[in-house]
Amino acid sequence: MTKYAAAKPAPYWRETVTNPVTAAPLDGDIACDLAIVGGGFSGLWSALKARERMPDARIVVLECGQMGNAASGRNGGFCAPSISHGVSNAVARWPDEAEALVRLGRENLDGLEADLDTYTIDAEFEREGKLNVAATPWQAAGLRDMHAAYARFGIKTELLEGAALDARFDTPRYHAGLFEPNYALVNPAKLVDGLAKTAIARGVQIFEDTKVTGLRNTGGGVRLMTAAGTITAAQAILATNAAVPLLRRLRPSIIPIFDYTLMSEPLTGAQLKAIGWQGRYGIADSGNQFHYFRKTADNRILWGGYDAVYHYGSGRGEELHHRDVTYTRIEANFRDAFPALGDIGFTHRWGGIIDTSARLTAFVGTAMGGRVAYAAGFSGQGVAATRFGALTMLDRLEGKDTERTRLKMLRSSAVPFPPEPLRSFGIKWAQRDLAREDATGHRSLFLKTLDRFNIGFGS
């Protein structure tokens, strides 16, 4: 008998924010120096970092719903020391600049922590590490490869088995682990709220419930259209993530992948002891279909991932944010991972859309004569990387030549996904083969061919 149905169908995180910031919608025409479309991490970091660079500029954020109502308020809060979707992805897809990518990813996490300090944002940032766990011999071999890849860059990680693993996480489901000490967690809604409140305190204007419906190059600037008025801006940033891109040419570059989460009731000290999860580190398993899980401040378990669901025609409908088949499946996996928790219940359940790109890394570019910058494609690792994306967009708008703007990973055009029905067919095929690889350790010819063309599918 499943228990997820009794959970509230809404993201848990927003309820943890005291006096969440709100903003009125736009009402009439305005002019500004920088218009930012999107009130998630990308848009809000862009606003704050733009303010640091341009103390007197009029900076405006336009958000079609509530700030953080999309991925930035729905994620697991894993804050990676990476801008490349991990070290292995950097090595596989960007071997020439892997060293720089790895270093910049770690510097970005340090910079994020320092910014939270400077702005006195309490986002429950905890750098307590991450434990990767393996359920099969081939996943354990993958962890050994990961350990070697880290070592190549002088990064220490710890391979764990038997009692050493049980001391971190004691469950019959997993047999090997790799502990990464340099990994953080945040409360994503508190991060959104803190960034927004800081931006407003520094004179950034935010408009919620204001959807930008079009964008026009006026020669000397940009015009953004909304139902409530027009914004004339010298420059614009597009930070709309998984939404249909305002720039038509970017539409084939990302696909919306739904990812779902269950939040457990708070665990007692005895329950935590029974599962051997004593520290505050997050955990993720190592399959292609993987779960990520972490504790909240009051010791609930956030249990997300596994199913990565694509809907024909790149469906993004509101009704797709809940999916009984997936909730049933991930509850079963939870019971399997935590037999010691018996039939503990769930308080919240929700889904969210991941802006998946074919290389699982962001791309940053400009349009309209360099007056518009955009960043998208962070896939499932944007909590920290969006800060880096924001800095890169601002560099590009300023026409600066920096280490960030020179990165091939960010500059090169995204690999386009094919149109329907080929898109759906290819994704289904890849998903079937990825599931088979999880079960058997065998990578199919189809997946190997995609690898050869530097194309991936995942979250």
Ligand X SMILES: Cc1cc2nc3c(=O)[nH]c(=O)nc-3n(C[C@H](O)[C@H](O)[C@H](O)COP(=O)(O)OP(=O)(O)OC[C@H]3O[C@@H](n4cnc5c(N)ncnc54)[C@H](O)[C@@H]3O)c2cc1C
| CB nearer ligand X, residue 140 or residue 376 | 376
Any idea what the Cα angle at residue 298 is, between residues 129 and 303, rounded to 5°? 60
- What's the full length of the chain, in residues? 459
Q: Is 66 within 8 Å of 22 (Cβ atoms)? A: yes
Judged by CB under 6 A, the residue of 105, 380, 456, 458 near ligand X is: 380
Stretch that binds ligand X, among 63-71, 95-103, 163-171, 333-341 (CB under 6 A): 63-71
| CB nearer ligand X, residue 177 or residue 352 | 352
Tokens of 323: 């999916």
Interface positions, 94-123, toward ligand X (CB under 6 A): none
Report d(CA 370, CA 425) in Å as an integer: 36
**CB-neighbour burial class of residue 233 (10 A; exposed 0-12, middle 13-18, buried 19+):** buried
Judged by CB under 6 A, the residue of 51, 59, 75, 367 near ligand X is: 75
Please count the other Cβ atoms lying within 10 Å of the Cβ belonging to residue 202.
14
User: Residue 458, interface with ligand X (CB under 6 A)?
Assistant: no
Judged by CB under 6 A, the residue of 14, 49, 51, 74 near ligand X is: 74
| CB nearer ligand X, residue 355 or residue 395 | 355
Stretch that binds ligand X, among 382-390, 391-399, 433-441, 449-457 (CB under 6 A): 382-390
**CB-neighbour burial class of residue 453 (10 A; exposed 0-12, middle 13-18, buried 19+):** exposed
Closest contact distance (angstroms) between CB of 181 and ligand X is: 18
**Residue 87 parent element (H or E):** helix 87-93
Number of residues that bind ligand X (CB under 6 A): 42
* Dihedral (Cα; 409, 411, 413, 417), 10-degree rounding: 40
The contact mask relative to ligand X for 162-201 (x = CB under 6 A, - = no) is ----------------------------------------
User: Residue 129, interface with ligand X (CB under 6 A)?
Assistant: no
Closest contact distance (angstroms) between CB of 82 and ligand X is: 9
Q: Is 444 within 8 Å of 437 (Cβ atoms)? A: yes
Please count the other Cβ atoms lying within 10 Å of the Cβ belonging to residue 339.
12
Closest contact distance (angstroms) between CB of 188 and ligand X is: 7
| Cβ-count burial 272-301 (b if 16+ within 10 Å, e if not) | bebbebeeebbbbbbbbbbbbbbbbeebbb
User: Residue 386, interface with ligand X (CB under 6 A)?
Assistant: yes
Closest contact distance (angstroms) between CB of 381 and ligand X is: 4
The contact mask relative to ligand X for 284-323 (x = CB under 6 A, - = no) is --------x-----------x-------------------
Residue of closest CB approach to ligand X = 382
Backbone angles phi, psi at 161, to 5 degrees: -145, 165
Cα of 41 vs its chain's centroid, Å: 10
User: Residue 132, interface with ligand X (CB under 6 A)?
Assistant: no
Closest contact distance (angstroms) between CB of 213 and ligand X is: 7
User: Residue 43, interface with ligand X (CB under 6 A)?
Assistant: yes
Q: Which residues make up the interface to ligand X (CB under 6 A)?
A: 37-43, 62-65, 69-72, 74-78, 80, 211-212, 239-243, 246, 259, 261, 292, 304, 352-354, 378, 380-383, 386
